[in-house]
A = this chain, B = another copy of it.
Amino acid sequence: MHSVKFTNNKLFYLDQTKLPKKEVWRSCRTIKSGWKAIKDLKVRGAPLIGVFAAYCICIHLDKLSKTKSIFFKQLKQSFDYLKSSRPTAVNLFWALDRLAKVSLENEQKTVKQIKKDIVKEAKDIHRQDIETCSQLSNYGATLIKNNESILTHCNTGFLATSGQGTALGVIFQAKKQGKNPTVYVDETRPLLQGARLTAWELKKKKVNSFLITDSSAAYLMQNKMIDKIFLGADRITALGDTANKIGTYSLAVLAKYHKIPFYVVAPLSTFDLNLKKGKDIAIEQRDQKEVKEILGQTLICPRETKAVNFAFDITPSKFIKAIVTDRGIVYPPYKKNIEKLIK
């Protein structure tokens, strides 16, 4: 189960906007169509965007100059262009910066060789993401006991990564270990990643699960139907503040009040130590149509109504019980322990 393929220098992706109705694979032939696939959320999920963007560079290399100085200028432009697709998740920037670093470290080589090094690095990023998912899933599963009920938000499984996922990877791992988790999935308005993608993944993996509206989560917590919360992250600062899908902060405050452990699951590539606090993270505001028209199909309010559409929110670290990474579980104090982890 995967959602991006790169074979013989050809890039394919599963169009996630068509799920769960249809499994449509598309070919991505140009950097421009790659940019649009990210922008339109056909390819989504912080770790997956990183892998996909790296491959978008690979399929674009043929179009770049053979003259080294021009090549480097064009390469930089390509990185900047892809980075402009989505501002919040850091993995996109991280993956492209890895390619940039490799190209600069091998500056003395021929352009042809540098291109080969870039492709190799992209494949490494892909391979590592798969491993990373296994590692953090293993760490995270140690936090789940038999027959627990887990709440999750948005999508963090094999659609959002190249591997088995982050938060959902942890749940799949617990399931594999025979712990029999029950999962409540927030539908995750406006774009319904929980209903469309997570419910679909849980069904594929035969995990006992229930779909709920986002605003029901508090009622379930009040009625002791939730033991733990696991969700992903798009960017984590040096202090542990976390940007994630809109609705995450709401769950964090509610979990704190109901004394329910709230776990963030993310690979090391999600940490951005250049930023200290959550408020330093750029929050993407998307088209108000995503709120007004459900999946671009059903208008739910008067045409003239204005809507506000913040795609992400910030959860201060004090709400987070622990951050599960591929290098182990990080507990507070986050500043110190994140520093130790990354070094």
Q: Mark A172-216, 1 if CB is under 8 A from B, else 0.
A: 000000000000101111101001100110110000011111111
Beta-carbon contact of B215 and A250 below 8 Å: yes
A304 and B219 CA atoms in complex are apart in Å by 24
Of residues A202, A292, A294, A297, which shows the largest number of chain B Cβ atoms within 10 Å of its Cβ?
A294
Which of B210, B254, B307, B310 is within 8 Å of A253, CB to CB? B254
User: Is A300 located at the chain interface by the 8 A CB criterion?
Assistant: yes
User: Is A102 located at the chain interface by the 8 A CB criterion?
Assistant: no
User: Is A7 located at the chain interface by the 8 A CB criterion?
Assistant: no
Nearest CB in chain B to that of A316: its residue: B222
Chain B residues contacting A192 (CB-CB under 8 Å) are 300-301
Q: Report A192 CB to chain B, min CB distance, Å.
A: 5
Of residues A203, A218, A220, which shows the largest number of chain B Cβ atoms within 10 Å of its Cβ?
A218
User: Is A11 located at the chain interface by the 8 A CB criterion?
Assistant: no
Which of B254, B257, B292, B310 is within 8 Å of A216, CB to CB? B310
A219 and B284 CA atoms in complex are apart in Å by 13
List 19 A-B residue pairs with CB atoms under 8 Å apart, sorted by A's residue number.
A187-B301, A189-B213, A195-B301, A200-B302, A200-B305, A203-B305, A213-B247, A213-B309, A214-B214, A215-B215, A215-B247, A215-B250, A216-B246, A216-B308, A219-B310, A253-B254, A253-B257, A254-B254, A294-B294
Known: A213-B309, A294-B294. 4 other contacts (CB 8 A): A189-B214, A199-B305, A219-B250, A222-B313
